[in-house]
Amino acid sequence: MKAKDKRGTSPLPKKRSRLVSILAKAFLSTCPPPLKSKFEFKNTAEAAKKNAHLLLHFKGNLQDAIDADGNSCLSPSTEFRQLEFIQPLLDLHEDGQKLVDIVSQGVSYPMRSDIDYTEELRISDVKAAIAQGNNKSTSGHDKLIQSKYKTEVERGWMMPIPLQAINAIEGLGITPIGIANQTTLNDKGEVIGKKRITHDCSRPGASGYSINNRVDEIGLEECRFGLCLLRILYQIHQLRVENPTTRILLSKFDFDAAYRRLHVLLKMALLCTTIVGPFAYLLFRLPFGSSPAAGCFSLLSEYVVDLAQALVEDISWCPSQLRSKMADSIPPMEPATDKPFGIARELSVNIHAKEISFDCYIDDMIVVCLMVKDNVQRALNAIPLILDSLFRPIMSEEPVERNPILSVDKLLAEGRLEEMKKTLGWIIDTRSLILYHPSVNSKLLVLEIDSMLNLFKKKMPIDRKKLECLIGKLNNIAFLMPEGRFFLNRLRFRHRVSIRQGQNKLFDEMEGADLLLWRKISIILREDASEFALGGFFAIGDHGFAWRFELPLDLQGIFSLNLLEFIAAFWTMKTPAELIRCINSLNIVDSTNALSWMVKNNHRPDLQPLHDEVARRFGLTLFETNSKADGRHLAGDRNKVSDSLSRDTHMPSSILIQQLRNHPDTKKIMPKFFDIYHQNEASLCSWLREMAQKDTKVKPSQKRRIPSKLATVGVKNDPFLQNRSSKDRFEQSDYIESYMYMYRFNYFGTKPGGGTIGRDRLSQSISHIAARFTNEGFNNPTHDRSGNRKASITKQLKAYNDLDPAVERQHALPASVFEFLYKDKSCYLNSAIGELTAGALFYAMRSCEYSSTEGNPKTKLLTLGDFFFYKKGKLINTNRQSADNVKIIFRTQKSGVKDEPAVRGKAPKNHSLCPVHIWAKIVDRVWSYKGSTDETPINTILVNDEPRLIKASTVRLTIRRAVLTLGEANLGIKASKIPLTNQYRKYTHPLSPTHNGPLPLAVGASSFSHGLAESNLYARSVIGMTKRSTVSHLSSGHTDQQSHFGNAS
């Protein structure tokens, strides 16, 4: 019987197709190691002199010197596999010959034939460039330039020579460098700068010529951004039309150091020589700033995605049999969500939607994948396989530093298949079919417009470069709203005039109006409601206007919470609409926005007249004031200011504003000026009473007040909490005990009397209350004079504890998972993680003790100096596998304990997991790395001859993969529930999923002489044991005792 193809019903071919055969031959080809160059790639004076001496030996002819250098990093083909293997692959494409020329000779620029650039012109341009120096933007950035150039030299992309030697090199030209200033926002919302070195190939020399104005623009390769994004969006849309309820996933691949992967034809490369300090640097790779660079590199990237498209559609390719190890670094696919799928309408044009499609823009390669059949594996493996087949793999002995063609860090950050991904400067949500402009980019764009408006208002000359940058960004926004391009015409005219006349001009009134039009945005109004109050606010510039209103008792319980939120939305919009008129308002409430409320409202007016009344008032106000409501929605968790306005009506306005300004959740979003107004309370109350009279079926009912989380005024602002006016009758502890009773029976919850609160949560709650007193200089109200918790409070908590049900413990992680990880040798990283997790198991380590975590954990990461191996009681530093015991010193722990030792003995010979052997293997491996010391972290791993630290997040992903492989149903554990900080104390038990008896996993627990009691040692294979072994010293006399752990806690 013929095998069936997983992608359809057609039978699998008996042999590979021509494409797959050629690809496999290239992928499996053996590459000869590159030769060490005679030139020196170090950013030092000695290296520069040596390079100049070699060039003088060849009489300044760099081409002869490179030819004599052989197959070194200066050879144009050094980045690729041998041409005999990859040329058949390149010949499959229409641009194959161009790519063959690039691989064998380097990138060539199409130069204008009508320009006679003589040797005299070249020499005059070199002299002028030396005299003029680099661009002014480089001033003050010497350290940045030196750091970047050091990297480029050490990777063989540049070569330094003394400045005095440039006249001896044939065909050399000087290109100035500049610093491109880019901006972004940090975590605090502050604007910070980013710097990047560029080659200014457009600055003319004394001859009036530059590299870019000598390039023939007709001969440039076409490179258009907008079409790539459009193609991707059309593919997603048509896939959703044909598959309304199937996930559409996105992935992204980036070349590592993209431009520097391609050599430039030597006579072109020499023109991009740069000068920094006493050295001139010859750049052999594709530079930033040359006009042909983007198009030339696109030849390669477009070829890769075209070949990937053909490969995924080739049924003879099996990703499990022919794949690159680079794909192992891609994180697992994003889990599905419950968010509803967007509805796609039929297009007016016919588009063929592919289940997997590839596209690219310069060095960004984007994958669109419909999650059906085996599409995921094909989509993720195609590009890594093709790149691994084209580019030379990393050798064990590279003469210069070199990274893989796909960066591991970028694969971890962007390679994962997701439904929402930042792509080409936009955020694409394939599930909702929404295209977002990133909030950070929007904020920066507004700041740039404000900067230009400031120049217009002060009648100051414009900055041409900044204006050009702003026009480009606004043109990008116009991708979504093409009519906006009309309002860029005058700005482009102003930019052209400034360039033509060589001076910065002023904005005229019409150009200023265009800038103001781009800056004009909706007035965002936020409002909220509780069962007993309403509130809202809006901001105009630096001024915030707020209101709040507490419902009288006769109006409480009359209106539903949903209706109260819509009333709050209308009342917040009413004031600015009547005062300003012609506004575009966005009313935000917790669950939706005001316009969506009206659109989705399906209430029957005859049965629910109040909803109809509010909707009519809202629509009438918009009509009378020539305003409109926006249909967008912002997340409700940002509504904390309006939430406080609608709940904290018991607090005076001045104190509430102070709280909003000081609270960490709201202080960043508060305007510079903020006031709460009460002028319209009477008219609002009157209108609400009129509506209440129309619905006589509902009777008033007093609602319980639930303050917001911001309503903490502090002990110093409340005399009652200081126990000044209540001494005569009650003590503070009486109120604490009453509070515990009320909290115990959930009187502060949404349903008073429903459910009970446990003893531990009660104790924690009153501890927080007591801490507020002590932090503000008052006595602890829960303690007696001796400093102990008062007896009445202790008895009350004990009584609650006796009534509380047993605590449901979290599921444990079976030891079979750790055995699976330990045996996984599929790649170097997985092997290292398996060893670390298995070793950590015996010591119940926290994740921050054996892997790198974010922040600054109190517990210190273990280093090589923390491990000691003993054989027959003597410390050994060689042949650690033969040791009887391993001791680890835990230097600093979360609990404050320092230098705590823990000892483990050797396991029986028939057990695969032995703490001594495991840690000996890890320590030997890390010590084998060049430059390792006692301070080298134990989670160090060598990636491309460069030490890296294994992160806790990577360990978590690996453990999750193992759980998914072994089967969640078999293990009884959800992979998604495994936390980032995998603490063995909580998540390990020694039962395998198929073994109900004691797991044959043994840990040696040794006893020692010199009066050291055996009870001081704790065998800690099982998480749940909370004390580490305590050993003062080791002696020569010892015996091994094996501890078999069954189903114990």
Under the banding of pLDDT at 50, 70 and 90, the label for residue 935 is very high
Mean pLDDT across 601-608: 56
Under the banding of pLDDT at 50, 70 and 90, the label for residue 713 is very low
Under the banding of pLDDT at 50, 70 and 90, the label for residue 7 is very low
Confidence (pTM): 0.53
Q: Is the pLDDT of residue 201 over 60?
A: yes
Q: Is the pLDDT of residue 616 over 80?
A: no
Task: Check residue 162 and give its pLDDT.
Answer: 93
Task: Check residue 1006 and give its pLDDT.
Answer: 28
Spatial contact of 186 and 192, defined as CB atoms under 8 Å apart: yes
Q: What is the pLDDT of residues 98-136, one digit of tens each?
A: 899 988 889 899 998 888 989 899 999 999 999 999 988
Spatial contact of 869 and 876, defined as CB atoms under 8 Å apart: yes
Task: Check residue 754 and give its pLDDT.
Answer: 53
Q: Report the alpha-carbon distance of residue 254 to residue 464 in Å, rounded.
A: 32
Strands ordered across the beta sheet of 279-283:
158-162, 279-283, 274-276
Place of tokens 């209103």: 549
Spatial contact of 212 and 201, defined as CB atoms under 8 Å apart: yes
Q: Is the pLDDT of residue 630 over 60?
A: no
Q: Report the alpha-carbon distance of residue 571 to residue 677 in Å, rounded.
A: 13
Q: Is the pLDDT of residue 639 over 80?
A: no
Mean pLDDT across 503-511: 73
Mean pLDDT across 3-31: 71
Q: What is the pLDDT of residues 741-754, one digit of tens each?
A: 877 877 665 444 45
Place of tokens 């400093």: 787
What are the CA-CA distances from residue 732 to residues 142, 230, 765, 830 (Å)? 65, 68, 15, 58
Mean pLDDT across 775-803: 85
Mean pLDDT across 401-429: 87
Helix (H, G, I), strand (E, B) or coil at 435: strand
Task: Check residue 554 and give its pLDDT.
Answer: 86
Q: What is the pLDDT of residues 370-382, one digit of tens each?
A: 998 889 999 999 9
- Look at residues 74, 90, 384 and name the one whose alpha carbon lies nearest to residue 82: 90
Task: Check residue 595 and give its pLDDT.
Answer: 52
Task: Check residue 543 and give its pLDDT.
Answer: 75
Beta strands in 766-827 (DSSP E): 813-814
Spatial contact of 869 and 875, defined as CB atoms under 8 Å apart: yes
Task: Check residue 250 and give its pLDDT.
Answer: 93
Lowest mean pLDDT among 58-67, 748-757, 805-814: 748-757
Mean pLDDT across 159-183: 87
Task: Check residue 1016 and give its pLDDT.
Answer: 26
Q: Report the alpha-carbon distance of residue 979 to residue 985 in Å, rounded.
A: 13
Q: Is the pLDDT of residue 1026 over 50?
A: no
Q: Which of 46-50, 629-633, 965-969, 1019-1023 has the highest mean pLDDT?
A: 46-50
Q: Where are the alpha helices (DSSP H) in 113-155?
A: 119-132, 142-154
Which of residues 858 and 1046 earns the better pLDDT score?
858
| Type of residue found at 766 | I
Lowest mean pLDDT among 168-182, 272-286, 421-435, 465-479: 465-479
Lowest mean pLDDT among 292-301, 422-431, 614-623: 614-623
Q: Report the alpha-carbon distance of residue 661 to residue 639 in Å, rounded.
A: 15
% the chain with pLDDT above 90: 21
Mean pLDDT across 753-774: 80
Q: Report the alpha-carbon distance of residue 731 to residue 1004 in Å, rounded.
A: 57
Lowest mean pLDDT among 135-149, 203-217, 454-468, 874-888: 454-468
| Type of residue found at 753 | G
Lowest mean pLDDT among 502-516, 724-738, 749-763: 724-738
Q: Is the pLDDT of residue 1005 over 60?
A: no
